[in-house]
Amino acid sequence: MQSAVKVNGLSKSFGANNRALKEISFKISSGEMVALIGASGSGKSTLLRLISGLIRSDQLAETEISIFGKVIQKKGKISADARALRSRIGVVFQKFNLVNRLSVLTNVLIGNLGSMPRWKGNLGLFSKAQKRAAMHALERVGMVRQAMQRGSTLSGGQQQRAAIARSLVQGAELLIADEPIASLDPSSARKVMDILSDLNQRDGITVMVSLHQVEYALNYCPRTIALRDGEIVYDGPSQALTQDFLGELYGAESEELFLPGLSSKSDKPVKAATNGVAHPQLSA
């Protein structure tokens, strides 16, 4: 199977003494849904921003990130095709990154900019078909009624769903979600994760999602990559991540990775993971 993401010897430092990532390598196949977990400061966001080509890595000889077999950055230099590649990558941010003063529909239409003639984009000339596709994307995330509202009038969960609709319109083949549910209440969080999982299952979009809480990784993602202090400490099936194992990996920090109220019962997360009714991909 073609690899969607291939990361080789990736390091990133901020200043002389702050190494956020230390020579990380991994591969994600097309169609996978992978969780990236770790305490705050472990390098999750940095890794995702590097993969989407928004920041540059350290200039080491072996450093290379490729998306669908094409290099997006190499040895700390963003490749010339980065713009074209970015249009195949949908990025969903913790803070949603919508333009508040534009309507939800316009925010979603922005997803078309990478793949239409530039002058048309500059003048805001979106075609009927593009508008219809945007409305379908909004329908998919349950936001049709809010299409003409300004971004600023939406709740956090709605803004995040609009941001996902933008990635859908973009025709993203890889969806990178950086803590998409960290600023959301539990029910909105579940809705957003359901949508991501649905996109993965039905449309075959590769999803890479960083999460703060292990429960969501267990529930939604068959595979988990765990980071600690800029290094991969675990890469494998999510089911193996029992609380004891996480305690081993993270020590005292593991407390941070569980939802309050569930952390006292170590069997809860595992039970949730084997619950095959809601998420059949985990029982397979």
Partner 1 sequence: MSEIAQDIKIPVTPMRERLVSWASVLIVAGLLVWSWGPVEMYRWVSLFTDASNMGEFASGFLKPNFLDWDIYVADMIVTIQIAVWGTFLAVIVGIPFAILSSNNICPVWVVQPVRRVMDACRAINEIVFALLFVVAVGLGPFAGVMALFVHNLGVVAKLFSESVEAIDPQPVEGIRATGASKLHEIIYGVIPQVVPHWISFGLYRFETNVRSATVLGIVGGGGIGQLLWENIRSFAYSETAAIMIIIIASITLIDLLSQKLRKWAI
* Radius of gyration of the chain from its Cα atoms, rounded to whole angstroms: 19
Q: Which is nearer to partner 1, 31 or 121 (CB)?
A: 121
For residues 127 and 56, what is the distance between their CA atoms, to the nearest angstrom?
A: 35
DSSP-derived 3-state class of residue 146: helix
Closest separation in Å from C-beta 83 to partner 1: 5
The answer for residues whose C-beta is within 8 angstroms of residue 125's C-beta and 6 or more apart is: none
Q: Which is nearer to partner 1, 135 or 262 (CB)?
A: 135
Q: Which is nearer to partner 1, 149 or 239 (CB)?
A: 149
* Spatial contact of 225 and 35, defined as CB atoms under 8 Å apart: yes
Closest separation in Å from C-beta 231 to partner 1: 26
Closest separation in Å from C-beta 112 to partner 1: 8
Closest separation in Å from C-beta 95 to partner 1: 5
Closest separation in Å from C-beta 87 to partner 1: 3
Closest separation in Å from C-beta 177 to partner 1: 11
Question: Minimal CA–CA distance to 284: which of 251, 239, 254, 247?
Answer: 239
For residues 186 and 184, what is the distance between their CA atoms, to the nearest angstrom?
A: 6
- Would you tell me which residues interact with partner 1 (CB under 8 A)? 52, 54, 83-91, 93, 95-102, 106, 110-111, 113-115, 118, 121-122, 124, 163, 166-167, 170
CA atoms within 13 A on the CB side of 198: 14
Q: Which is nearer to partner 1, 109 or 246 (CB)?
A: 109
Q: Which is nearer to partner 1, 99 or 240 (CB)?
A: 99
Sign for the CA dihedral angle at 124, 129, 135, 141 comes to negative
DSSP-derived 3-state class of residue 106: helix
For residues 236 and 242, what is the distance between their CA atoms, to the nearest angstrom?
A: 13
| Phi, psi (rounded to 5 degrees) for 36 | -120, 115
Q: Which is nearer to partner 1, 43 or 111 (CB)?
A: 111
Q: Which is nearer to partner 1, 89 or 273 (CB)?
A: 89
- Give me 151's structure tokens: 């971004």
Look up residue 150 and give its DSSP letter.
Answer: B
Closest separation in Å from C-beta 166 to partner 1: 7
Q: Which is nearer to partner 1, 168 or 221 (CB)?
A: 168
Closest separation in Å from C-beta 156 to partner 1: 14
* Spatial contact of 50 and 12, defined as CB atoms under 8 Å apart: yes
For residues 163 and 146, what is the distance between their CA atoms, to the nearest angstrom?
A: 13
